[in-house]
Structure 1
Amino acid sequence: MKVASAFSLGSRSSPFQDAAPSEETPVIIRNYLRCLTCDQVHMLRIAIGDAKRQPHHFACRNCGEELEVVLTLGTGSSSEGAFSCSENAELCEEAAEALTINLDPNFVMPKDQANSLLSFPRLEQMRTMVKAMEARGISLNQMARASREQGPTFPTEWTHLRKAIGLETRGNSKLSRREIDKSGELFYGGERLDGLDDWLIRFLRRLVGPDYDKLFEKISKEVERIIEAKDAGGLMKHYFGDLRTSRRDTYFAILTDFFRNYSEFSQVLYRVRLGAPPPEDAAAGSTNFENVKTFYGDGFETFAGLVELFTMLNNLDAGREYDQGEQLSLKKYRELDNASKFNPFARNAAFVELCVEIDNQIRNASHHRGIKLSADRHSVLYRPGKGGTGEEQSMTYVTYLDRCTRIFLQIVVLLCVEIMMSFRQGQALFGGES
């Protein structure tokens, strides 16, 4: 079924780039969907977001059956989009008995507005985000200019970047270079990209937002201070000779997982980037929990493994060899449980500042099948403790998405630090000219 031509790419991504959402009236389209399990008709009010393909998972408001609708936007200023839906539903004509469902790929909404015909929750949240930018010294004029001069959306650019990284890791360097050159034309005004590291750090620094970017700069300076002040030759030999490839693959895996489920995380991403908490008792329009229920646990495992770089640097800073801690050798450190791997560098304020979102209890629950979505799809229920057998606790699904995004952005900051460290050593983490 074709979507009415009232929306176009011109309004698709303008709210969602480096500055802040614009406060122009959001584009909302309507369509009608019938649940084939109980015949209930729903009127879908869908806001246009920043991705070409916008899937939404939600429950039938009558029988609770999970439904999915996908809005795929066209290309060009006048192109239309198209809807598709899951097999247990069908697109249908307008019906007086239709129940309202509000869906927004880039914002959450107050729970009491989830089914409101007159709800425009993103307007108030845009104002909140504008205030957050103003608090960081960015004026409305700067926001407006950034909106007009915006680059590609994150999922669009990632598609090309992922392809180039995949080609390089499979040994197709010439094809990867061709993709890099083409993307320099597409996304950076014809500016030449030196290689994958150059492209990746540009992309990631836009992705993380202003606060995390400042944290990247702070940690990067601390890493450089230690390397310049101490004999880091042994650490650099170990890093580039033994660790670089495995760490690169680990970063690529979590990036791929995040963007595979971007439609869920994008509901909170733009607020997380600005340190703006969601509205109280906020609800997510899309609740595709099955696809993201282990993401936090995977993110925790990933991050806990990667911070051994901080431990090795901390060893050097304390006047020891990189592989000798105050009490443990590097070999013994790697045998610690993941929750303990943050302790050796606990006195380094810059390193600790990145390690805020680290909850081993959620990891235990998700990795021992002790986590689930509540019947009303509003809360995540989980059992912490060893083996996920503790007393059941809960948080809203929006909070879960928020925390998943925060631990992911911590990983991204660390990746940017490693790219910069590699560059200063005349090396490349993913590939390209140093």
Structure 2
Amino acid sequence: MAAKEDAKAPIVNLHPSFVFPKAEIGSPFAFPSIEFGSDMVRAAIAARVRSGLSPDLPKVAQDEPRRARITEEWDHLRAAWSLHRNGKVDLVEKRRAGFIPTAGYVDPPDTLADWVFQFAQGLGAPCFDEHFEALFQQLLIAKDKGDFGRFVKHFGDDMSSDHGRRHFEMAKAYFAAFSEFSQVHHLVTSGVPVGEEHAAASTNFDATRMFYGNAFEAFGANVEFLVCLNNLVEDRPYDQLKNITLSTYRQTDKAGRCNAIADNVAMAAICKEFDNQVRNASHHGGMVFDRASGVIQYRAGKGGQGDVRSMGYAAYLARCTQLFVQLSVLMRLEILVANEYGVRLPL
């Protein structure tokens, strides 16, 4: 029987025993997608306000160029980046010139460094732009210190090559499993929390099992760039921490690498996701995934001998994404310094 056309009539009658399932992300048919969409809009507006911009979102003109899909652009960027790493400069330019005019950029990148920089910026917008701006302010302080020139040379000569390799390898790994990470990517970069009440529509854990551990290792190594900047900010030589030298710091366990910048608010914020317990479980095959429940279990403590902990697969994807985008923000700062001061690019 059709319901009466009454504004107060219920749209759907639910059985008293009905229980709403977990909010399913990554599915176009999930009712929570409406809630996620509104959460993302609110987060974007909040990010604009915190950055001093108008809360009114910019309108998209009908004739404004449409940006290429992330995965489509990554295929071209990955090829160009790989050619660069193999010294094939002419082919890099052919790749860039052949794709960028159709990619929908308002300010088209004219170099590979600019392309990687803008692509990474787009990956983290809107919320991670705030982190980059905060780190940029720390860079402005560091560049006026007497030892900054020596740091820049050291970065180009001794850091850039290894850092660039890690940036490239982690980007490849992230996009190789983007069908999984895409379920939470825009939620994370919009500042929308993904918790245990959320379930992922796709659960290919085999594709993401090792990601957190590898991203942890990459970030734990490359964060030395911020440590050097912080040394300068605190009026020390770039290679002298409060109690140890940079060379000694580089030999320490990665689990404590972010402690050196814990007192610097801007730098500590970009280390928000950096959990050694999850790293150990991911890196050493210590995670057990129950596909039926969508829950990952792992043991905390040294050697995986501690208490059993658990987290939902959607939450795991979000933590992986957070860590990867933190690394991409750091990469942008490194590219900026290398490009501005003419040293080897971390690509």
C-alpha distance in structure 2 between counterparts of 1:277 and 1:121, whole Å: 13
Tell me, yes or no, if structure 1 residue 292 matches structure 2 residue 208. yes
C-alpha distance in structure 2 between counterparts of 1:357 and 1:296, whole Å: 10
Contact 2:216 2:274 (8 Å CA) reproduced: yes
In structure 2, the partner of 1:245 is 161
Letter in 2 for 1:122: S
Aligned to 2:258, the other structure's residue is in SS state coil
- Residues 229 and 323 of structure 1, relative CA distance in 2, 3 Å threshold: closer
Tell me, yes or no, if structure 1 residue 224 matches structure 2 residue 140. yes
C-alpha distance in structure 2 between counterparts of 1:209 and 1:181, whole Å: 25
2:96 aligned to 172, 180, 204, which one? 180
> What CA deviation, in whole Å up to 9, does each residue of 1:205-232 have, x standing for no partner?
1110111012112202211321223321
C-alpha distance in structure 2 between counterparts of 1:154 and 1:346, whole Å: 33
* 1:162 shift after superposition: 0.5
C-alpha distance in structure 2 between counterparts of 1:167 and 1:314, whole Å: 34
C-alpha distance in structure 2 between counterparts of 1:146 and 1:370, whole Å: 50
C-alpha distance in structure 2 between counterparts of 1:198 and 1:322, whole Å: 27
1:200 aligned to 101, 116, 121, which one? 116
Tell me, yes or no, if structure 1 residue 313 matches structure 2 residue 229. yes
C-alpha distance in structure 2 between counterparts of 1:174 and 1:189, whole Å: 22
In structure 2, the partner of 1:426 is 342
User: Matched residues, percent identical?
Assistant: 35
List runs of 5+ in structure 2 lacking aligned partners. 1-19, 49-53
> What CA deviation, in whole Å up to 9, does each residue of 1:329-385 have, x standing for no partner?
122111111111112222222111111111101011122221121141411111111
Aligned to 2:297, the other structure's residue is in SS state strand
C-alpha distance in structure 2 between counterparts of 1:117 and 1:419, whole Å: 37
> What CA deviation, in whole Å up to 9, does each residue of 1:69-107 have, x standing for no partner?
xxxxxxxxxxxxxxxxxxxxxxxxxxxxxxxxxxxxxxx
C-alpha distance in structure 1 between counterparts of 2:157 and 2:202, whole Å: 44
List runs of 5+ in structure 1 lacking aligned partners. 1-108
Q: CA RMSD in A?
A: 2.6
Contact 1:165 1:430 (8 Å CA) reproduced: no
- Residues 203 and 118 of structure 1, relative CA distance in 2, 3 Å threshold: closer
Contact 2:231 2:238 (8 Å CA) reproduced: yes
Structure with the largest fraction of strand: 1
Tell me, yes or no, if structure 1 residue 168 matches structure 2 residue 79. no
Contact 2:196 2:315 (8 Å CA) reproduced: no
C-alpha distance in structure 1 between counterparts of 2:344 and 2:121, whole Å: 17
Letter in 1 for 2:84: E
C-alpha distance in structure 2 between counterparts of 1:392 and 1:245, whole Å: 39
* 1:171 shift after superposition: 1.4
- Residues 190 and 156 of structure 1, relative CA distance in 2, 3 Å threshold: same
Higher relative contact order (CA 8 A, sep 6+): 2
1:352 aligned to 263, 268, 275, which one? 268
- For normalisation by structure 1, the TM-score amounts to 0.69
Structure with the largest fraction of helix: 2
C-alpha distance in structure 2 between counterparts of 1:195 and 1:428, whole Å: 14
Aligned to 1:326, the other structure's residue is in SS state coil
Aligned to 1:150, the other structure's residue is in SS state coil
- Residues 288 and 326 of structure 1, relative CA distance in 2, 3 Å threshold: same
